[in-house]
Structure formats: C-alpha cells, structure tokens
C-alpha cells in the first residue's frame, strides 16, 4: 500500500471545532448530568471543574505535544519518543478507542432511533417501554450499524474534507440546539427547583473517594483523554499553533457545553415532575424519564424531543469520528494502509464488536465502567509518567509556537508528581469499585 502524504488541518478554526467536537459528546449530556445528580449537584460540578483544570488540561497539553511533535498516531508517536517499550502504551490507546467506539455507537444508535420514531409520529406514551424495546437486540444492533456507517463515511473523507468539514457544519448547530434547549427550559414553571438542585453545593460528598474518582474519570472521558484521540488530532497540527491556548479553549468549551446541558436537563426534570424517576440507571434520565414527560406535553414536547435527540446524535457523531480516527491513523502509520482501507477494516471490526453490547445492555454498562473509570485513567497515568519522567524534551515540543509562556516547568512538574499521585489514588479506587460491581 502506498503511504499517502500526511494531512493537515486547514487552520485554527477547523482544528478547534474538530477537537471540541471530539470532547463534546454523549459524555457531556448523558454521563455528566447523571453523575452530577448522583453526587451532590453543584459541589460535584465544582470538583469536576477543578479536576479538569488540574488533571485534564496538563494531560491534554501532553497529548497535543506528542501528537504534533511526532506527526503520527499514538503507536508511532510513542515509539518515536519512547522506543519500542512505550509503543505498547500507544497500542493500549488504540485498543481503548476500539472498545469505546464499539459501545458508544450503540448508544448513538438509540439517539438515531429516537429521532426517527418521534419524527414518524410513532413515539409511545411510555418511554420506559420504548426504551426496553429498542435498547437491546436486533433493532439496536441495526441502528448501531447505521451509525457506524455514517462515522466511517466521514473518516474516509480524510482530515479536511471529512472530519473538519463535518465539525464546521455540525458544531455550530450543536451549540445552537443545546443553547436553545437551555433557554426553553428556563421558561418552564418549576425550573427554579431544577436550578437549585443542580447548583446547590453539598460539600459533604466531595471528599468521598468514590465521588472524586468518578469526577476524575469523567474529566478524562469528557475531554477525550487517555486514549490518544487528542494526540491523533494534534498530529495534524503545524508548529504555529499555541498548544496551551488550544488546550484551554478545548477544555473551556467542553466544560461550558456540559454546564449548559445541565442547565437544560435539570430544570426540565423538575418542571416535568420526573425527579423521582431519575433512577440509578445511567441512561434512565435521558432515554426514559425525559421522553415520557415530553410525550405528555403535546406538540411542543414532540418538537423538543426531536431537538434534544438530534443534539445527542450530533454530539455523539463528532466524538465517534475521533475514536475511529485513532484506530485508522494507527493502521495507516504502522500497517501502511491507505485511509480507505484502514477505515473499512477498522470500522467493520468495531461494528462487529458492537453487536455484543447492542444485544445485551449489561455488557454495555460494564464496558463503560471499565473503560471510563479504569482504562482511560490508566492511560492518562502512564502518559503523565512518560512525559513527566521518561521523555527527554517535552518542553521543547510543548513550547513550540508558545514562546510567551513561562510556566512549562510547572506543567512538567505537575505531570511528574501531583498528577500521577492523584491518578493512582483514582485508579485504585476505581478498580476496587468496578471489581465490586462486577463480582458483587
Ligand atoms: N469526549 C467524548 C464524550 O464526552 C467521549 C470520548 C472519549 C471521545 C474518548 C473520544 C475519546 O462523549
């Protein structure tokens, strides 16, 4: 296979929107609102913000520096800077991307299904019954396959014509949809109670190791860190980019979208009187409680429901694209596949693996727990150790295009000591609780 010349983003806007597209996903709406409601509302939001700044942004800068410095996907990037031994960390990243996409796409398939059924006018009054019918089994698998085909079509188009163009069109649409939903939620009677619940700060919970580990895991998941997605996108950057600034913009946008999505979701939950249905299931709120309530609101509810699930679908698509790109870029680098061939083979393999979580929701939930809470954190920990201790010249790579920044030594120190310590603590607690959840 001939090696195609390395592609590059057309400019800053294209890169930023694509990276924000990767970060803003189901995690911002589905995972964030669920975790916040379980773990003390506003205090959790603050803890999450703190961990995004302290853990997320430094690791994002590390990923961008490695990607740009090597101009390669994770496997080759880590081999380039760390030799053979470290390239296995790159392989772990590719594996994580592969596994996450296989179940992420199943959930994305549900969103597609919700849009289709609502538009066709066939959405039943009971969201729970609908969810049970469509979330597992052959129909779920079919929608997962459709979603994967769309994702593959975009990635096959390449960096500029596929990924960047999709982000340029869809991200503004997504911002408008989520902003619109938040404004609509504001007009509802009883919205105040939702805000109060969302933003009430119950500090008693946030010293709980379990809450801390979930906030840290969510920060990694939501920023697309710990599996090479941001690294891969960074590999299509040129030396002109100011990486600390780009990290801040991506992290800031991701937080803002999660926060605004919360401003939409919580008032709706309270205004619609469904707070008691917001069950322990991570998917219950978005896929059962909200649609059930929307259905009781007549035409307005149906319109809001369509907008809501289109927003989820768009958010999921731009994230899924970045997961597939990790696998595709690595296959192009290491196996010298063409983009088309890499996308077809990787995409088909992921689609096949996704059949399992599509058929059994328990597989999906366990995989999400293992990946979100353990694999991404482990990947981030290994990466922090690599850049903090092993890599010879990380500051040279990070500071290219950012000569004005003086605190790169602080950045490296964060990656050396505090971040690994915190991540070790998080990882230990996560493994313990995932083990308990699976065995117990
Ligand atoms: N950040 C995405 C979300 O919040 C998920 C994701 C994880 C995307 C890892 C890419 C890599 O939904």
According to the model, what pLDDT value does residue 3 have? Answer: 55
pLDDT, residue 19, reads 98
Which position has the higher pLDDT, 22 or 299?
22
Whole-number pLDDT of residue 1? 45
Is residue 320 in contact with ligand 1, taking CB distance under 6 Å? no
Give 422-440 as a DSSP string.
HHHHHHHHHHHHHHHHHH-
Neighbours of 177 (CB within 10 A): 18
Mean pLDDT of the chain: 92
Atom of ligand 1 nearest to the CA of 223: 1
SS3 content of the chain, % helix, strand, coil (to 5): 80, 0, 20
**pLDDT of 422 over the 70 cut:** yes
**Residue 55 CB contacts under 8 Å (≥ 6 apart), including other chains:** 216, 219, 220, 380, 419, 422, 423
Coil/strand/helix, residue 236: coil
For the cut 70, the answer to whether the pLDDT of residue 122 exceeds it is yes
Which pLDDT value is given to residue 201? 81
Which stretches of 187-297 are DSSP H helices?
191-199, 209-222, 229-234, 243-271, 284, 290-295
Share of the chain above pLDDT 90, in %: 75
**Is residue 334 over pLDDT 90?**
yes
Residues listed for the chain = 440
Any idea which residue has 């769309």 for tokens?
Answer: 150
pLDDT at 39: 86
Q: Which two tokens stand for residue 294?
A: 């929307």
**Is the CB of 25 within 6 Å of ligand 1?**
yes
Which residue's CA is the nearest one to ligand 1's atom 6?
Answer: 224
Q: Please state the atom number of ligand 1 nearest to the C-alpha of residue 229.
A: 11
Q: Which of 9-13, 206-210, 244-248 is predicted least confidently?
A: 206-210
132-141, 258-267, 320-329: which is most confident: 320-329
d(CA 39, ligand 1 centre) in Å: 21
Question: 367-393: string of b/e by CB count within 10 Å (b at 16+)?
Answer: bbbbbbbbbbbbbbbbbbbbbbeebee
Q: Which of 14-23, 37-46, 155-164, 281-290 has the lowest mean pLDDT?
A: 281-290
Q: Candidates 106, 222, 255: which one to mutate for ligand 1, based on the most atoms within 8 Å of Cβ?
A: 222
Helix, coil or strand: residue 202: coil
What's the CA-to-centroid distance between 316 and ligand 1, angstroms?
A: 8
Contact (Cβ atoms closer than 8 angstroms) between residue 388 and residue 419: yes
Q: In 120-208, which ranges are continuous DSSP H helix?
A: 127-135, 138-156, 165-186, 191-199
Across 48-72, average pLDDT: 96
For residue 24, pLDDT over 50 is answered with: yes
Q: Is 429 in the pocket of ligand 1 (CB under 6 A)?
A: no
Ligand 1 pocket check for 247: Cβ under 6 Å: no
Distance (Å) from CA 193 to ligand 1 centroid: 30
Q: How many CB atoms are located within 10 Å of the residue 183 CB?
A: 12
Using most ligand atoms within 8 A of CB, pick from 20, 224, 229, 376 the residue to mutate for ligand 1.
Answer: 224
- For residue 277, name the pLDDT band (cuts at 50, 70, 90): low
Query: Tell me, what's the pLDDT at 273?
Result: 81
189-229 pLDDT, tens digit per residue, is 989 999 998 888 878 888 888 899 989 989 999 999 999 99
Quote the CA–CA distance of 260 and 283 in Å, as a whole number: 19
Pocket-testing residue among 73, 229, 374, 379, ligand 1, by greatest number of atoms within 8 A of Cβ? 229
Burial class (CB in 10 A: 0-12, 13-18, 19+), 308: buried
Using left for φ > 0, alpha for ψ between -120 and 50, and beta otherwise, residue 121 falls in left
Measured in angstroms, how far is the CA atom of residue 187 from the centroid of ligand 1? 31
Per-residue confidence (pLDDT) for residue 438, from 0 to 100:
84
Domains and CATH numbers, the chain: 12-439 (1.10.4160)
> Which ligand 1 atom is at minimum distance from the Cα of 315?
12
User: 379-395, pLDDT tens digit by residue?
Assistant: 999 999 999 999 999 99
**CA distance linking residue 30 with residue 39, whole number of Å:** 14
3 CA distance to ligand 1 middle (Å) = 28
Phi, psi of 41 (to 5 degrees): 55, -130
Tell me how far apart the terminal alpha carbons of the chain are, to the nearest angstrom.
49
């Amino acid at each position: 296979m001939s090696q195609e010349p390395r592609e590059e983003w057309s400019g800053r806007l294209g890169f930023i929107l694509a990276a924000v597209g990767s970060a803003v996903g189901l995690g911002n709406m589905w995972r964030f609102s669920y975790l916040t409601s379980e773990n003390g509302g506003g205090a959790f939001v603050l803890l999450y913000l703190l961990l995004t700044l302290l853990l997320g942004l430094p690791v994002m800068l590390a990923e961008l520096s490695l990607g740009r410095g090597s101009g390669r996907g994770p496997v080759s990037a880590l081999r380039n800077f760390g030799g053979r031994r470290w390239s296995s960390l790159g392989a772990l990243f590719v594996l994580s991307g592969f596994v996450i996409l296989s179940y992420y796409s199943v959930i994305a398939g549900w969103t597609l299904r919700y849009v289709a059924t609502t538009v066709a006018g066939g959405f039943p009054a009971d969201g729970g019954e609908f969810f049970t019918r469509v979330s597992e089994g052959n129909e779920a698998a079919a929608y997962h396959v459709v979603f994967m085909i769309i994702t593959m079509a975009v990635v096959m188009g390449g960096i500029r014509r596929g990924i960047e163009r999709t982000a340029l069109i869809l991200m503004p649409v997504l911002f408008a949809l989520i902003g619109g939903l938040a404004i609509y939620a504001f007009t509802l009677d009883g919205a105040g109670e939702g805000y109060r619940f969302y933003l009430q700060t119950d500090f008693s919970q946030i010293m709980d190791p379990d809450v801390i580990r979930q906030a840290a895991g969510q920060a990694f998941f939501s920023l697309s860190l710990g599996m090479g997605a941001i690294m891969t996108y960074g590999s299509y950057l040129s030396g002109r980019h100011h990486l600390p600034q780009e990290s801040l913009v991506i992290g800031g946008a991701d937080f803002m979208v999660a926060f605004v999505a919360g401003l939409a979701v919580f008032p709706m939950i309270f205004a619609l009187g469904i707070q008691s249905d917001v069950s322990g299931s991570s998917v219950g709120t978005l896929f059962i409680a909200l649609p059930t309530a929307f259905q009781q609101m007549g035409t307005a509810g149906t319109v809001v429901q369509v907008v809501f699930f289109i927003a989820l679908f768009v958010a999921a698509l731009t994230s899924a694209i970045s997961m597939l790109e990790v696998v595709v870029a690595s296959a192009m680098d290491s196996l010298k596949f063409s983009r088309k061939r890499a996308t077809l083979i990787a995409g088909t393999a992921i689609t096949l693996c996704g059949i399992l979580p599509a058929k059994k929701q328990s597989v999906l939930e366990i995989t999400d727990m293992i990946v979100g809470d353990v694999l991404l954190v482990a990947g981030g920990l290994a990466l922090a150790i690599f850049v903090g201790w092993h890599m010879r010249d990380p500051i040279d790579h990070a500071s290219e295009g950012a000569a004005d920044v003086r605190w790169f030594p602080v950045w490296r120190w964060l990656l050396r000591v505090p971040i690994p310590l915190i991540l070790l603590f998080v990882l230990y607690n996560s493994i313990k609780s995932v083990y308990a959840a699976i065995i117990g």
